[in-house]
């Protein structure tokens, strides 16, 4: 075990050293040191406190969403969330969002699909809040019709802003609709019946293959769907929904 940890530590140090070299190889250190000396580090104290408070609110919100399926402690939710944010900072594609339910499953035995659903519910709340803030901005901020700013090859103008707002609204509607549908047992039963119909599509194959599709594919998908739906049980508790919305508004604001 100690040998494995030593090897992992050595590999991590090498990778970190190589990454730091490529990150700072073109940085003028004289100017960097001069800039660091000019910073008023007093303001790092309140900013750090606000950042930690924001993370604490995120943890509490995740706990609130998870509580509908399985109760977890503060630090049981804190560690996966922080690891997920760390991975989001260093890896593309927001891989950290996938790591959170994986770590939660290992530490607290919450099914991966349930944890994944709670992360999706979090993002749905975030999108709703962002949509509300964007709508408020568009209603209260006067945008110059002649606005035209080129950013990375794209032209930012009033039409693009309105199109973006409409797209976010549609995405938000789809997310909420999917969450609501999964919350109804009748809808889940309908999806499960569709899944169980899959073996019949292979009528030309033998009975052994159809049985394999039923046992390995259909039953696995049904278990995943049922477990995933547990992550959206929050929808059946209006008070928790309101609480999550207010916490998301606090984070977004």
For 34-74, how does the pLDDT look when each residue is reduced to its tens digit (9 = 90+)?
A: 888 888 888 888 988 998 998 999 999 999 888 877 888 88
Q: Pinpoint the alpha helices (H) of 25-157.
A: 29-38, 44-66, 74-90, 96-108, 112-140
What pLDDT was estimated at residue 198?
86
pLDDT for position 187: 78
Amino acid 58: pLDDT:
92
Stretches where the chain sits below pLDDT 50 are none
Please report the pLDDT score of residue 2 as a whole number.
58
Number of other CB atoms surrounding residue 59 within 10 Å: 20
| Pairs from 83-86 (Cβ < 8 Å, separation ≥ 24) | 85/55
Report domain extents, the chain: 29-252
pLDDT at 152: 67
pLDDT of residue 207: 84
pLDDT at 253: 54
Residue pair 69/110 in contact by the 8 Å Cβ criterion: yes
| CA angle in degrees (0–180, nearest 5) for 11-108-221 | 95
Angstrom distances, CA of residue 132 to CA of 47, 122, 135, 160, 171: 25, 16, 5, 18, 13
């Amino acid at each position: 075990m100690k040998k494995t940890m030593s090897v992992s530590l050595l590999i991590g140090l090498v990778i970190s050293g190589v990454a730091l070299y490529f990150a700072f190889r073109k940085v003028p250190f004289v100017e960097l040191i001069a800039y660091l000396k000019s910073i008023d580090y007093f303001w790092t104290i309140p900013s750090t406190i606000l950042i930690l408070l924001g993370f604490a609110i995120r943890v509490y919100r995740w706990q609130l969403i998870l509580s509908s399926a399985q109760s977890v402690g503060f630090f049981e939710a804190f560690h996966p969330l922080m690891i997920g944010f760390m991975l989001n900072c260093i890896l593309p594609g927001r891989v950290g969002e996938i790591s959170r339910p994986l770590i939660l499953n290992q530490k607290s035995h919450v099914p991966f699909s349930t944890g994944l659903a709670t992360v999706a519910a979090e993002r749905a709340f975030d999108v709703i809040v962002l949509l509300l803030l964007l709508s408020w901005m568009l209603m209260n901020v006067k945008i110059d019709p002649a606005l035209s700013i080129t950013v990375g090859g794209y032209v930012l103008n009033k039409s693009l802003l309105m199109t973006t707002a409409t797209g976010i609204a549609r995405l938000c509607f789809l997310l909420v609709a999917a969450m609501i549908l999964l919350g109804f047992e009748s809808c889940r039963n309908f999806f499960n019946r569709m899944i169980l119909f899959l073996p019949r599509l292979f009528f030309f194959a033998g009975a052994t293959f159809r049985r394999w599709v039923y046992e390995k594919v259909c039953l696995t998908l049904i278990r995943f769907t049922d477990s995933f739906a547990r992550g959206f049980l929050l929808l059946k508790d209006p008070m928790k929904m309101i609480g999550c919305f207010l916490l998301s508004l606090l984070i977004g604001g």
